[in-house]
A and B are shown apart, each in its own frame.
Chain A
Amino acid sequence: MTQTDMTKLDKIFNNNPQSPGSLITVLQDIQREFRYLPREALEKTAEILNVPLSKVYSASTFYAVFSLKPRGEKIVRVCKGTACHIKGADIILEQLESGLGIKAGETTKDLKYTIELVNCVGACALAPVMLVNEKYYGNVRCDRVMKLVEKD
């Protein structure tokens, strides 16, 4: 990690109570800052919050929001909620996977795109739903998927 990264990290530790109870919040802040959880950051977290590294690892792999691998600039989330499922979320995912050449959970080599699955984003009335970063796309048609992803 670079010096600037370390400064960012210190800032996160200073913003939270430095006790084991802050583990999840600290990890969320690191994930938000770096888009994933770098190994050095986890080691530092264990040291500062006084939690065994094994426990930090356990929490990092338990919650779906955390990733131990670097993720892409554009995170494309396909909603796999019930409403989306019965309205063809599988087919949207297929189009996306073949279009980007990666599987769900993976990131393209150039670190541009990551595909993620979400259980439900709570926009069921618009099913099937896909998100590109924070932007929602509703009633997605499978022949339009790649156009939406490549927009902007």
Chain B
Amino acid sequence: MRIDSIDKLAAWRDECRKRLDSQKKKVLVCLGPGCLAGGSDKILEEFHEILSKKKITDVTLEAVKKTGCHGFCAQGPLVIIEPEGIFYTKVKKAHVKEIIETTLEKGELVEKLLYKERNGDGTDHAIVDYHDIPFYKYQKRISLRNVGQIDPDRITDYIAAGGYSALAKTLSSMTPQEVIDQITKSGLRGRGGGGFPTGRKWATCAKIESDIRYVLCNGDEGDPGAFMDRCIMEGDPHSILEGMIICAYAVGSREGYIYVREEYPLAVINLQNAIDSAREHGFLGENIMGTDLCYDIKIARGGGAFVCGESSALMKSVAGEVGEPRAKYVRSVVKGLHDKPTVLNNVETFATIPVIINEGADWFASIGTEKSTGTKAFSLAGKVKNTGLVEVPMGVTLRKIIFDIGGGALKDRKFKAVQTGGPSGGCLPEDKLDLPVDFDTLTKAGSMMGSGGMIVMDDRTCMVAVARYFLGVLVKESCGKCVPCREGLYQLHKLCTKITKGKATEDDLNLMENLSRVISVASLCGLGQSGPNPFVSTLRYFRDEYMAHIRDKKCPAGVCRELITFNINDQCTGCLACIAACPVEAITGEKKKLHVINQDLCTKCGSCYEVCNFDAVDIK
């Protein structure tokens, strides 16, 4: 159906809702990146295979569908049965028959697939409805509202969930200036990392005299450790389009691009489907919803360059050139793509816009803190129990996210640090866990919000090695245009490597601190300016660890290979587990006899340490 007038949308929505409501039971199979790797596509096929042969009352084939990432990746592959919200975890293809026979036919639960929450005394209890699981309970989902709930390929699902109603409201009752005023009043700040006020950006772009203006979406989620934008692009692509169309109306644009990184092929497919179907139904192209608004979106694929997440580099890449940033005496909102005024916002920012229009600026501003309003999505990963996708109001503490939602460090090890903000961010130690998460507090503490990657580290993570890792990423990704970044980061990385090998002196450390200051001040773009952050922030909070490498030639976390040896102590029960795990056959021993590591063969990979259940492997 082509929506050629605003009134038609409401009728279509009623129709879509009626159709969904007629499905008494719905089976949602998560096809997010985590569950997909666990074979959830096969699970969905199996459901369809069995149900196409067997008729069950209240369950139609259409009601068994795929969704984007549901969030709780650590428990995947996930299958959710609505309306009860029954949450089946770690589902395998072989379980499908049982789920159909027990839950769909008889209405009973498959106990073994339910989520188990650990009690204080070490026992477990099962939780049926996912809304009651701590991981979900403390979240508030705005940008992720539909991700994991709808089938991204069905525009009717999005319409039934209230999709394009914000666009209808905008076109029927708001002037472009009113839209900008609402966004400004909401206090929304860019979710890509910088935190620039979105309303102010739009207002600047709208004011400049120009025949052409562009509205671009940055889907180049390059920060290692972040996958929020991926999940929105794959799981709810229409919300991004709707946000972009509203922006196009507000600033007066006819053309736009979504820049998607090369590593996300499924995001490109789902976005393209969404664009085609939005165009077919009259939400994109000429005379959108029968009004004078004309706007269309194309996809630009990235080429695997981190620096292309930077605005001016991204615009060069869209124009078909090498993605080198330029000095920004004139900002890209004034002179952007093809030197025309350009609004560039991140995926999550655009996905939030329709909700602000529908619910109002005051409602949005009432969530979060005074200067960081609304919610923020994070991808929680690293050495934490509940890895996954999380969205919380701004201002909650890091502790709440990592311990209440994330369940604390993996294997109940000691929490050491949390890394936020990607390579430009920093690591915060345990005594900063009670800081509220908002743009300004994190920056003040020496890290940054960044796009939302949150990596938890435990006592087996060496902070010097982490700094070295990030510097290595940046050295590789520096575009090479300006000297401080190209040469400075290279030297910083080299010195950091020297520390991890136990060959550095305290003079080297001083040199690194001086060098960091120069790189920050003299680099051309954000990549270089924030480049030394991983080193500076780890040194600020973990100087002891640096000194242990330099003075004592020891790596306290047992990671830097030049500085450690592995030995088996007399706790060894002779269980053979480490012998099986050793990739280089360096461990010898018999059943129930003490095992021995041959130091000449040992590559210090730590596999034996990871598999040992008896604390019998010492790292010194």
Judge whether A83 and B455 touch: CB under 8 Å.
Answer: yes
B615 to chain A, nearest CB (A): 19
B225 to chain A, nearest CB (A): 4
A87 to chain B, nearest CB (A): 7
| Complex-state Cα separation, A120 to B223, whole angstroms | 8
Partner of A24, one of B263, B320, B466: B320
Evaluate whether A86 and B605 lie within 8 angstroms (CB atoms) in the complex, with A23-B321, A122-B226, A143-B582 already known: no
Counting chain B CB atoms within 10 Å of each CB, the highest count among A22, A66, A122, A143 belongs to A122
Partner of B225, one of A83, A94, A95: A83
Taking the complex as formed, is A134 at the interface, i.e. its CB lies under 8 A from any CB of chain B?
yes
Judge whether A120 and B226 touch: CB under 8 Å.
Answer: yes
Contacts of B380 in A (CB 8 A): 125
Judge whether A21 and B320 touch: CB under 8 Å.
Answer: yes
Q: Which residue of B lies closest to A85 (CB)?
A: B469
Contacts of A64 in B (CB 8 A): 262, 303-305
Taking the complex as formed, is B354 at the interface, i.e. its CB lies under 8 A from any CB of chain A?
no
Taking the complex as formed, is B522 at the interface, i.e. its CB lies under 8 A from any CB of chain A?
no
Taking the complex as formed, is B457 at the interface, i.e. its CB lies under 8 A from any CB of chain A?
yes
Judge whether A87 and B304 touch: CB under 8 Å.
Answer: no
| Complex-state Cα separation, A21 to B318, whole angstroms | 8
Taking the complex as formed, is A42 at the interface, i.e. its CB lies under 8 A from any CB of chain B?
no
Judge whether B477 and A119 touch: CB under 8 Å.
Answer: yes
Q: Which of B160-168, B279-287, B382-390, B489-497 contacts A (4 or more CB under 8 A)?
A: B382-390
Partner of B37, one of A82, A86, A126: A126
Residue interface bits B360-382, CB-to-A below 8 A is 1, else 0: 00000000000000000001111
Evaluate whether A122 and B382 lie within 8 angstroms (CB atoms) in the complex, with A136-B37, A143-B582 already known: no
Contacts of A23 in B (CB 8 A): 320-321
B443 to chain A, nearest CB (A): 19
A23 to chain B, nearest CB (A): 4
Judge whether A22 and B320 touch: CB under 8 Å.
Answer: yes
Question: Which residues A56-87 have CB closer than 8 A to chain B?
Answer: 58-59, 62-66, 80-83, 85-87
Judge whether B38 and A138 touch: CB under 8 Å.
Answer: yes
Residue interface bits B463-502, CB-to-A below 8 A is 1, else 0: 0001001100100010100000000000000000000000
Taking the complex as formed, is A88 at the interface, i.e. its CB lies under 8 A from any CB of chain B?
yes
| Complex-state Cα separation, A75 to B43, whole angstroms | 26
Contacts of A41 in B (CB 8 A): none
Residue interface bits B279-318, CB-to-A below 8 A is 1, else 0: 0000000000000000000001111111000000000010
Taking the complex as formed, is A39 at the interface, i.e. its CB lies under 8 A from any CB of chain B?
no
Taking the complex as formed, is B322 at the interface, i.e. its CB lies under 8 A from any CB of chain A?
yes
Contacts of B461 in A (CB 8 A): 86
Contacts of A142 in B (CB 8 A): 583, 605, 607
Evaluate whether A62 and B323 lie within 8 angstroms (CB atoms) in the complex, with A83-B455, A122-B221 already known: yes
Taking the complex as formed, is B227 at the interface, i.e. its CB lies under 8 A from any CB of chain A?
yes
Judge whether B457 and A86 touch: CB under 8 Å.
Answer: yes
Taking the complex as formed, is A121 at the interface, i.e. its CB lies under 8 A from any CB of chain B?
yes
Contacts of B36 in A (CB 8 A): 136
Partner of B455, one of A55, A86, A136, A143: A86
Evaluate whether A81 and B583 lie within 8 angstroms (CB atoms) in the complex, with A23-B321, A25-B320, A142-B607 already known: no
A131 to chain B, nearest CB (A): 9
A80 to chain B, nearest CB (A): 7
Evaluate whether A63 and B383 lie within 8 angstroms (CB atoms) in the complex, with A91-B607, A120-B263 already known: no
Judge whether B320 and A20 touch: CB under 8 Å.
Answer: yes
Taking the complex as formed, is A28 at the interface, i.e. its CB lies under 8 A from any CB of chain B?
yes
Q: Which residue of A lies closest to B455 (CB)?
A: A82
Question: Which residues B204-262 have CB closer than 8 A to chain A?
Answer: 221-227, 230, 262
Judge whether B466 and A86 touch: CB under 8 Å.
Answer: yes
B324 to chain A, nearest CB (A): 8
Taking the complex as formed, is B436 at the interface, i.e. its CB lies under 8 A from any CB of chain A?
no
Residues of chain A at interface, number, CB under 8 A:
46
Judge whether B265 and A124 touch: CB under 8 Å.
Answer: no
Taking the complex as formed, is A6 at the interface, i.e. its CB lies under 8 A from any CB of chain B?
no
Contacts of A63 in B (CB 8 A): 262, 302-305, 323
Taking the complex as formed, is A123 at the interface, i.e. its CB lies under 8 A from any CB of chain B?
yes
Judge whether A119 and B319 touch: CB under 8 Å.
Answer: no
| Complex-state Cα separation, A126 to B453, whole angstroms | 14
Taking the complex as formed, is B174 at the interface, i.e. its CB lies under 8 A from any CB of chain A?
no
Partner of B382, one of A83, A91, A129: A83
| Complex-state Cα separation, A118 to B224, whole angstroms | 9
Taking the complex as formed, is B73 at the interface, i.e. its CB lies under 8 A from any CB of chain A?
yes
Taking the complex as formed, is A8 at the interface, i.e. its CB lies under 8 A from any CB of chain B?
no
Taking the complex as formed, is B446 at the interface, i.e. its CB lies under 8 A from any CB of chain A?
no
Judge whether A87 and B382 touch: CB under 8 Å.
Answer: yes
Taking the complex as formed, is A127 at the interface, i.e. its CB lies under 8 A from any CB of chain B?
yes
Contacts of B33 in A (CB 8 A): 121-123, 125-126, 136
| Complex-state Cα separation, A88 to B460, whole angstroms | 11
Partner of A143, one of B381, B388, B580: B580
A30 to chain B, nearest CB (A): 12
Question: Which residues A7-34 have CB closer than 8 A to chain B?
Answer: 20-25, 27-28
Taking the complex as formed, is A141 at the interface, i.e. its CB lies under 8 A from any CB of chain B?
yes
| Complex-state Cα separation, A143 to B586, whole angstroms | 13
Judge whether B322 and A62 touch: CB under 8 Å.
Answer: yes
Evaluate whether A80 and B224 lie within 8 angstroms (CB atoms) in the complex, with A86-B455, A127-B382, A138-B38 already known: yes
B271 to chain A, nearest CB (A): 15
| Complex-state Cα separation, A66 to B322, whole angstroms | 13
Judge whether A141 and B227 touch: CB under 8 Å.
Answer: no
Q: Which residue of B lies closest to A82 (CB)?
A: B225
| Complex-state Cα separation, A120 to B262, whole angstroms | 11
Q: Which residue of B lies closest to A122 (CB)?
A: B227
Contacts of B473 in A (CB 8 A): 80, 119
Residue interface bits A111-148, CB-to-B below 8 A is 1, else 0: 00000001111111111010000101110011101000
Taking the complex as formed, is B127 at the interface, i.e. its CB lies under 8 A from any CB of chain A?
no
Residue interface bits B595-611, CB-to-A below 8 A is 1, else 0: 00000000101110000
Judge whether A141 and B581 touch: CB under 8 Å.
Answer: yes
Evaluate whether A123 and B319 lie within 8 angstroms (CB atoms) in the complex, with A25-B301, A64-B304 already known: no
Partner of B453, one of A24, A82, A87: A82
Q: Which residue of B lies closest to A64 (CB)?
A: B304
Evaluate whether A120 and B225 lie within 8 angstroms (CB atoms) in the complex, with A88-B606, A143-B581 already known: yes
4 closest cross-chain pairs (CB), A and B: A63-B303, A125-B73, A64-B304, A124-B381
Q: A59-B322, A120-B225 are in contact. List 8 more A-B contacts (CB 8 A).
A: A28-B262, A82-B419, A83-B382, A85-B466, A122-B33, A124-B227, A125-B33, A136-B37
A-B contact pairs, 17 of them (CB 8 A): A24-B301, A82-B225, A82-B466, A83-B455, A86-B382, A88-B606, A91-B583, A91-B606, A95-B583, A118-B263, A119-B304, A119-B473, A124-B455, A125-B33, A134-B265, A136-B36, A138-B34
